[in-house]
């Protein structure tokens, strides 16, 4: 029998909130996290809207952890937060918050059996963009640590330094499926490599203006209709959707082996049953019904469950004309008639697309909903696309007892990764 793997700790930071309760309340209120970009000038960028965290009060968050973290941990965290780039600051704060939520400070675990997996790539994009601009102006004035801080692995190193984990640390890049691919690796660390804990950190992607403009030119993101109405820009399943809305956002999931977590009396949020991946054989951002259906079918088979066992699908649902419908077609193919009894909602309708960390952020959202038995609305569906005939939680929060949740994630490069979760309390 494979080891059972459970989530014992979580943390989150989005424009809807940086605490689990605040985040959940924002989702249930149907509040949009989308505003105008402040992180960079948008005068030369077509799309002006996004989920912007650039003015996030890092010092206030750090202060909120003082006295709650062991003194030596807080000292290491404070020293790092002073030095590292913006998105790495958020990574270290998320990691400390998630470890605290799991109750792992002082736990009798071997630090050499604690793994850290960071999801994403090109994380410090704006830091690198600004460094290149400074280099063009005066090379000697660039940050002397640029060669280190530009590396995604520095996120993993900083988390390891704060928490003093000594097991494997690495990053997993799979575009917008990164969070689930990182989860898949973290599960393997516990099941096959004797890790006692494995933390997945969905790091905040720090967009540079060139990234946002390029996505607009590609036709992937919204820019034609909602630059003056940011809160209406992300609208999965609506007839006027025109592309996803890039967003800052990060989260952590702390995984443990079930028996060990039970022995130490840990709170268990949920059990992860399986995580399956597939690819489309096509590097272009053209969602594939075949690839998505393969991943969903595989995750059910790996978990030994039937489609009828799934109560709730936390959808990828990016607000693109093709992507939203392709995902629903894939669901119909895999779930058959049961697709019409499953509840589906779209976290990105409020959060925007957190890109590499989206699967992790949205899994936290899903697990919080699963525990409370109440699903959030998919907002901004003013006129439902006639091709949408499944229950996408259009009309408001829904009371639903969820035993099993499926979480979809699909990324550029033809990457599909799907996770399956069981409610520990159901």
Q: Give the catalytic positions in this structure.
A: 176, 316, 353
Reference 327, options 386, 384, 408; nearest CA is: 408
**Do 28 and 347 contact (CB within 8 A), yes or no?**
no
Spatial distance between the Cα atoms of 126 and 78, rounded to a whole number of angstroms: 23
Spatial distance between the Cα atoms of 123 and 158, rounded to a whole number of angstroms: 14
**Do 314 and 408 contact (CB within 8 A), yes or no?**
yes
* Bridge partners, 70 (sequence order): none
**Do 239 and 383 contact (CB within 8 A), yes or no?**
yes
In the block, residue with structure tokens 């940086």: 18
DSSP 8-class letter at 51? B
Reference 275, options 118, 119, 420, 116; nearest CA is: 420
Reference 234, options 12, 16, 41; nearest CA is: 16
What radius of gyration, in Å, describes the C-alpha atoms of the chain?
Answer: 20
b or e along 354-378 (b: 16 or more beta carbons within 10 Å of the residue's beta carbon)? bbbbbbbbbbbbbbbbbbeebbbbb
User: How do strand 169-172 and strand 114-119 relate by DSSP bridges?
Assistant: parallel
User: Which residues, at least 6 apart from 367, have a Cβ–Cβ distance to it below 8 Å?
Assistant: 7, 10, 269, 270, 405, 421
**Do 256 and 1 contact (CB within 8 A), yes or no?**
no
User: Which residues, at least 6 apart from 173, have a Cβ–Cβ distance to it below 8 Å?
Assistant: 119, 120, 121, 152, 356
Residues in the chain: 426
Spatial distance between the Cα atoms of 313 and 298, rounded to a whole number of angstroms: 15
Spatial distance between the Cα atoms of 7 and 34, rounded to a whole number of angstroms: 29
In the block, residue with structure tokens 């949020």: 269
Residue 319: phi and psi, rounded to 5, are 85, 25
């Amino acid at each position: 029998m494979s080891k059972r793997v459970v989530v014992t700790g979580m943390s989150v930071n989005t424009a809807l909130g940086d605490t689990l309760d605040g985040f959940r309340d924002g989702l249930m209120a149907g509040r949009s996290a989308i505003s105008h970009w402040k992180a960079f000038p948008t005068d030369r960028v077509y799309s002006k809207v996004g989920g912007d965290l650039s003015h996030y009060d890092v010092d206030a968050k750090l202060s909120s952890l003082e006295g709650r973290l062991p003194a030596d941990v807080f000292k290491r965290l404070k020293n790092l937060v002073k030095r590292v780039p913006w998105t790495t600051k958020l990574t270290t704060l998320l990691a400390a918050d998630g470890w605290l939520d799991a109750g792992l400070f002082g736990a009798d675990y071997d630090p050499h059996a604690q793994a850290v997996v960071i999801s994403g790539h090109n994380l410090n994009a704006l830091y690198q963009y600004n460094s290149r601009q400074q280099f063009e102006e005066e090379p000697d004035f660039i940050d002397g640590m640029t060669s280190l801080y530009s590396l995604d692995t520095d996120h993993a190193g900083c988390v390891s330094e704060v928490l003093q984990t000594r097991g494997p640390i690495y990053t997993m890049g799979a575009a917008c499926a990164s969070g689930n691919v990182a989860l898949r690796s973290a599960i393997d660390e516990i099941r096959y490599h004797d890790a006692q804990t494995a933390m997945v950190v969905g790091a905040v992607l720090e967009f540079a203006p060139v990234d946002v403009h390029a996505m607009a030119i590609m036709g992937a993101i919204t820019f034609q209709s909602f630059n003056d109405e940011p809160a209406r820009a992300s609208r999965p399943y609506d007839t006027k959707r025109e592309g996803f809305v890039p967003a800052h956002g990060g989260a952590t999931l702390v995984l443990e082996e079930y028996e060990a977590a039970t022995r130490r009396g840990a709170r268990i949020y949920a059990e992860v049953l399986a995580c399956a991946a597939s690819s489309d054989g096509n590097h272009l951002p053209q969602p594939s019904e075949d690839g998505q259906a393969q991943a969903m079918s595989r995750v059910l088979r790996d978990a030994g469950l039937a489609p009828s066992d799934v109560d709730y699908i936390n959808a990828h649902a990016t607000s693109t004309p093709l992507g939203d419908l392709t995902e629903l077609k894939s669901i119909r193919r895999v779930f058959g008639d049961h697709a019409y009894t499953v509840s589906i909602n779209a976290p990105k309708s409020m959060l925007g697309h957190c890109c590499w960390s989206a699967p992790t952020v949205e899994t936290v959202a899903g697990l919080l909903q699963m525990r409370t038995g109440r699903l959030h609305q998919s907002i901004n569906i003013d006129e439902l696309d006639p091709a949408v005939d499944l229950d996408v939680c259009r009309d408001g929060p829904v009371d639903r007892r969820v035993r099993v949740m499926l979480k979809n994630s699909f990324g550029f490069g033809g990457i599909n990764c799907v996770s399956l979760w069981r409610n520990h309390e159901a």
